[in-house]
Chain A
Amino acid sequence: MTTDYCQTFVDKAKAVSAIVSEVKSEDEALQYVIDLCDRKEACQLLVSGCERDLSEKAEQLCEAKQKKVIAAPGLTKALYDKLAEMSAKAGFECIDSGMRDHLAGVDIGFTFAEYGMAETGSLMLDCPGEDMRLATMVSEFHVCVLPKSKICKDSYAVEEMMLARMGKTPDYLAFITGASRTADIERVLALGVHGPLELHILLLED
């Protein structure tokens, strides 16, 4: 059943500028994150506007950041330890908490999605924890692993799962579809307004 929806999911997600890749294992996903972080510009936040002529206050916020940062809250301990070790080797800072100290932006937020919705190419992420929420918001790039078995037809198919989560309050649930976008100036599409500039979806064979 899920394989039927997999291709639709990929098509729809790509149509809204998500970058979709397949990974065979969690290790491969970690390697993807490290490689991506490595390829990023030296001045990590350039892409999000700190090279522009900003007001002094906004410029100060950029100066807070010295090192490339990967935020990965919500992983299993074993997986996080592995990522932390790989990050250290590559010279990046890896965090799983304390996102509030990194509000200027982190380079990569790394998460796992609970479900995928093929109809719209959307990810469903439950993030009652604040660090998880911020990791998917203040990061320049959001990399999200989606197990193929978790791809459903549409939002109606995840309705029950949503209700179960909403029943265990408090809860903070999100559908994420593509990168943050706006068309507020002359209706010209621009990616990355307040949220991530890029959304990378890693489809995990499971």
Chain B
Amino acid sequence: MQKANNLKEYRSELRESLDNDFLRTTLDNFAVAYRAGRANAFKDMDVHGLIDEIACSKDEAAASLDALYKQFKEKAEAAGVHVHLAKDAKEANDIIASIAKNANCKKIVKSKSMTAEETLLNHALEDEGLEVTETDLGEWIIQLRHEGPSHMVMPAIHLSRYQVGDLFTEVTGKKQDSEIEKLVKVARRELRQKYVEADMGISGANFAVAETGSIGLVTNEGNARLVTTLPRVHVALMGLDKLLPTLHDALRILKALPRNATGQAITSYVTWITGANECASAADGKKEIHFVLLDNGRSELAKDPLFSQVLRCVRCGACANVCPVYRLVGGHKMGHIYIGAIGLILTYFFHGKDAAKNLVQNCINCEACKDICAGGIDLPRLIKEIHARIQDEDGHPLPSLLLGKVLKNRKLFHTLLRTAKWAQKPVAEKDGFIRHLPMVFAKEHGFRALPTIAETPFRDRWEEIRPVVQNPRYRVALFSGCVQDFVYPEQMEAAVKLFAAESVDMSYPMGQSCCGLPVQMMGEMNASREVCVQNLRAFEAGGYDYVITLCASCAAHLKHNYPKLVMDTPSLALKAREFADRVIDYSSFVHDVLKVKADDFVQTGGKATYHAPCHLCRGLDVHEAPRELISTGGLEYVECGEEEVCCGFGGTFSMKFPELSAELLKKKLANVEATGAGVLLTDCPGCIMQLRGGLKNQGSSIKVRHVSEVLADNRKK
């Protein structure tokens, strides 16, 4: 559980995780193995189709929670089950405590339930003098250690066999060694005793099926079957979001849940319970069953046009499995009770602003979670929205306010950048890097060298270099973004050169400004929207076949976020959609539209590897185009390990969490070095800044370049 009061304290908590070698190695191995396991489990399946179906079905369920609850209750009660609705955590805990009291229960065995974690049920029951034993192995381990889960599916993933061995020695009073197979058997026998003694079993539920009044439980260990069979009372605690209209809806989710969670086609046990089933230890031979459905803000959430999609979550935990930040710091630091990307969001709704305020800033916006989510939830967007909401409630921090103010005023912003060029003079080296980092950067930013502001921004060069193209094949507008305009204008010039040679007529609207992503990342939604409107106006002249940007982040932001930012203003919404439809990234334009040929390039043959920018591979779903362009453009493409994993830049993220950014960069560069390539190519100036700065700092000879630069260089004259 993350407890920091402010970002500074939170950063020092993160530092502890970074220093935990066991955690780091475990999560690294898991991240790599998970990706392969999942791909294998979904082989030959239409994953996107399945996820779309789940999203639709969950959305429909969320829209009719009241009716589903009513139907579920009627069906379940007709079959002899007691159904309760709890408005919040306390009410749920009170209901369960009174069930225990009325049925004279003393000992309770539990099967893992995230909902019970959410309500902190164990503490509440223990306060009532009840003995509660978790039976899921991982959950039992963390219960004995008085910790919360660090992963939704593997709650004790942060612990080593040695820690578990020591713990079990304490619990059994006998010396235990650390062999996993043996530890599992010790748990088996110790917990079997608990099942035998218990008079109440508590489970969660993965599905609550309204048409039959049944619940479905998905487990591997089989503890849920014992917990729901042996004790004479069974209580299942579940969120209202578990309600589904039909069994088919549940079976559909079951196709995705285990595959997405652990790469299993299905778990060892899936249990479907309908009605008060036979129980030999109950007085009348029938088990006393209670279903407790927890609201805790869910029905409010269901009404929110944007956040209702949160209720699509099936608790597979995959968003943590692919999160590069989770991989560095683990679940205790990347969540409160619910962890990972969905955890950052749920924490705000279930546990409040204070528990969420630091967490929501720790998203690098790489979109890996969105890409993998079984419910197709736009997690990064929701995290940003919550960040913005918290700032609206709490007041905006000064740097974020300032950036917002500056970016809203294009002329001021550009004047500042021009001024920076002079301000940097005393520290600028001829090689294009700043020699000593200015004092505003603390020493933790020293992991990468920073570039200097270019002598002449692209916008000042444009009229001079603008090519005259006769009989153009296409008319396009260039969107430079601030980094390529003011730091790397040569990348833009390289594109202009190739486009002219390919008979593309170009415009560069001068009214354009920063795309606005940085302020959106800092939770400044109003500023983000204003910048968006400015850019829409700048490109209004129209008549362009395409709007081309060489920055993957700009491209994804223009394409996906602009229409959302102005959707409440109909006239702008239409404009934004038309604009977004024309936006294309450099590699896709050159590869898919211009269809350049290898014959037009000098085949220089050097080895080049690639870094896939998050906003290109996931943001725009572009994978093959840049890699094929490398070969077409005359170089030999060598694949890099974890090519589609974030480099750690994340715009303002790297300023806020330099330690995390540095670690992500370190991993990335190790993979790059391992390829033996002399050139590293990519499609995003932000990534280039990060990668080039990191390699420079390491004294590496690998050159980092934009794909556009290589193509311009190698094109036959």
Contact = CB atoms under 8 A, between A and B. Distances in A.
Interface stretch (B82-90, B274-282, B394-402): B274-282
A170 B79 contact: yes
Contacts of A172: 228-229, 271-274, 277
A192 B184 CA distance: 8
Contact of B159 (A52, A137, A185, A195): A185
Contact of B161 (A52, A100, A185): A185
User: Which residue among A178, A183, A193 has the maximum number of chain B CB atoms within 10 Å of its CB?
Assistant: A193
Contacts of A166: 209, 212, 214, 247, 272, 274
Contact of A193 (B172, B188, B230): B188
Contacts, number: 225
Interface stretch (A22-30, A33-41, A54-62, A79-87): A54-62
Contact of A100 (B138, B184, B280): B280
B190 interface: yes
Contact of A182 (B78, B160, B221, B255): B221
Interface of A: 12, 16, 48-50, 52-58, 61-62, 100, 103-105, 119-122, 128-130, 133-134, 136-138, 155-156, 159, 162-163, 166-167, 169-188, 190, 192-196
Interface of B: 26, 29-30, 33, 78-80, 135-138, 141, 154-157, 159-161, 164, 171-176, 180-193, 195-196, 209, 211-214, 220-223, 225-226, 228-230, 247-248, 251, 254-255, 262, 264-281, 286
B161 A186 contact: yes
Contacts of A54: 172, 174, 186, 189-190
A170 B137 CA distance: 29
B492 to A, nearest CB: 47
A178 to B, nearest CB: 5
A103 B271 contact: no
Nearest to B196: A103
A130 B225 CA distance: 11
Contacts of A129: 278
A58 B269 contact: no
Contacts of B192: 58, 61, 103-105, 138, 194
Given A48-B189, A190-B181, A185 B156 contact: yes
Nearest to B181: A190
A136 B174 CA distance: 31
A103 B189 CA distance: 11
Given A130-B280, A185-B164, 14 more contacts: A49-B186, A53-B176, A54-B190, A103-B196, A130-B277, A138-B226, A155-B251, A159-B248, A169-B274, A171-B277, A181-B268, A182-B221, A186-B160, A192-B184
B229 A55 contact: no
Contacts of A186: 26, 159-161, 180
Contacts of B141: 184-185
Given A48-B185, A171-B277, A195 B174 contact: no
